[in-house]
């Protein structure tokens, strides 16, 4: 995570970034080797040989990656591009929660009728389409268009959560149900962290590269601050005369929107790959002892979305 977050500032090929990735690779390798050789592993990596477990965990990571990454960027877009207050931005995210409340309880019946693989792949395809529609954002896009795009995205997310949770739990033996549940929670947390790190870093990299031409006449200190974030650029612009301030503000906002376009494109490509993988490898039906969670389980998914809004 450190390498992903710091890469836009230090460079993707810098020593700092490469060392961070190397340490992560070594530590994860040690963890995997340890778990494969202890009698009672915390996470039995052999579970990943089961299609239900591997596709369920991978799909859950990508769903939360899309949700948190988009909310991280759109919250800034509302405030720093469209000019809404923090409270105004938060209120405009609220319509996402009712969609989750309405759609999530329907997934058990839909999965029973059409198959878990079809429901999840359809949900992931909807997420990918929602992400691509964010490419239509401009510096003057109205809230209704953003709202429709967000609702499409969260509908796809709501269709995937319960079936993928059931897929993860169906792949572990009853005596290791705790490990399956923990893995389900871990995938959500990992997806949330990756969403902010990966999509945020893609957006930051494009932002920095797109803004460089507009910083030539600034002092080194102001140039560094403006390059760091859209908020920093707007702060620098507030200290300039009218014409230069307007030019810098416009350039920074356009650069940020361009970064959003790159981030959602990357997210959509990953989600598209997951759509194909789920349709191919996720079982249609779950085992009898690990059936789809009943609609009463949907509040957990809704709570995840509400927590996401609060953290954003």
Per-residue pLDDT tens digits for 195-209:
999 999 999 999 998
**Domain locations in the chain as residue ranges:** 1-42, 49-311
pLDDT at 297 over 50: no
Q: What is the mean pLDDT of residues 40-65?
A: 89
Query: Which of 183, 231, 213, 276 has its CA nearest to residue 83?
Result: 231
C-alpha span between 134 and 149 (Å, rounded): 7
C-alpha span between 225 and 304 (Å, rounded): 34
Q: Which residue has the tokens 């992903």?
A: 4
Q: What is the mean pLDDT of residues 119-138?
A: 95
Least confident of 63-77, 146-160, 211-225: 211-225
Q: What is the CA radius of gyration of the chain?
A: 21
Q: What is the mean pLDDT of residues 160-172?
A: 87
**Domain 49-311 = CATH 1.10.287.130:** no
C-alpha span between 137 and 77 (Å, rounded): 10
DSSP 239: T
Environment class of 165 (CB within 10 Å of its CB; exposed 0-12, middle 13-18, buried 19+): buried
C-alpha span between 125 and 223 (Å, rounded): 40
Q: What is the mean pLDDT of residues 126-141?
A: 95
What pLDDT does 295 receive?
A: 45
Neighbours of 183 (CB within 10 A): 25
The reported pTM is 0.84
Q: What is the mean pLDDT of residues 257-278?
A: 93
What the block records as the tokens of 229 is 């974030």
């Amino acid at each position: 995570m450190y390498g992903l977050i710091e890469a836009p500032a230090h460079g993707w090929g810098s020593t700092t970034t490469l060392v961070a990735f190397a340490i992560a690779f070594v530590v994860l390798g040690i963890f995997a080797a340890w778990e494969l050789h202890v009698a009672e592993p915390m996470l039995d990596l052999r579970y990943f040989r089961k299609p239900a477990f591997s596709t369920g965990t991978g799909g859950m990571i990508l769903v939360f990656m899309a949700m948190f990454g988009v909310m991280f960027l759109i919250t800034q877009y509302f405030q720093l591009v469209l000019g809404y207050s923090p409270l105004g931005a938060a209120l405009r995210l609220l319509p996402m929660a009712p969609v989750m409340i309405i759609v999530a309880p329907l997934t058990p019946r839909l999965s029973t009728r059409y198959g878990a693989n079809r429901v999840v792949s359809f949900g992931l395809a909807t997420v990918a389409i929602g992400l691509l529609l964010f490419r239509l954002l401009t510096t003057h896009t109205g809230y209704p268009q953003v709202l429709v795009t967000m609702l499409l995205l969260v509908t796809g997310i709501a269709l995937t959560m319960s079936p993928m949770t059931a897929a993860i739990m169906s792949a572990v033996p009853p005596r290791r149900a705790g490990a399956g549940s923990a893995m389900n929670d871990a995938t959500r947390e990992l997806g949330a962290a990756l969403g902010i790190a990966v999509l945020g870093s893609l957006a930051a990299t494009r932002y920095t590269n797109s803004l460089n031409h507009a910083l030539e006449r600034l002092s080194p200190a102001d140039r560094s601050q403006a390059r760091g974030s859209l908020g920093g650029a707007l702060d620098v612009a507030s200290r300039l005369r009218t014409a230069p301030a307007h030019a810098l503000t416009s350039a920074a906002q356009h650069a940020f929107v361009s970064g959003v376009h790159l981030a959602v494109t990357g997210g959509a490509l990953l989600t598209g790959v997951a759509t194909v993988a789920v349709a191919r490898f996720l079982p249609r039906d779950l085992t009898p002892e690990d059936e789809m969670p009943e609609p009463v389980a949907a509040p957990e998914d809704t709570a995840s979305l509400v927590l996401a809004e609060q953290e954003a």
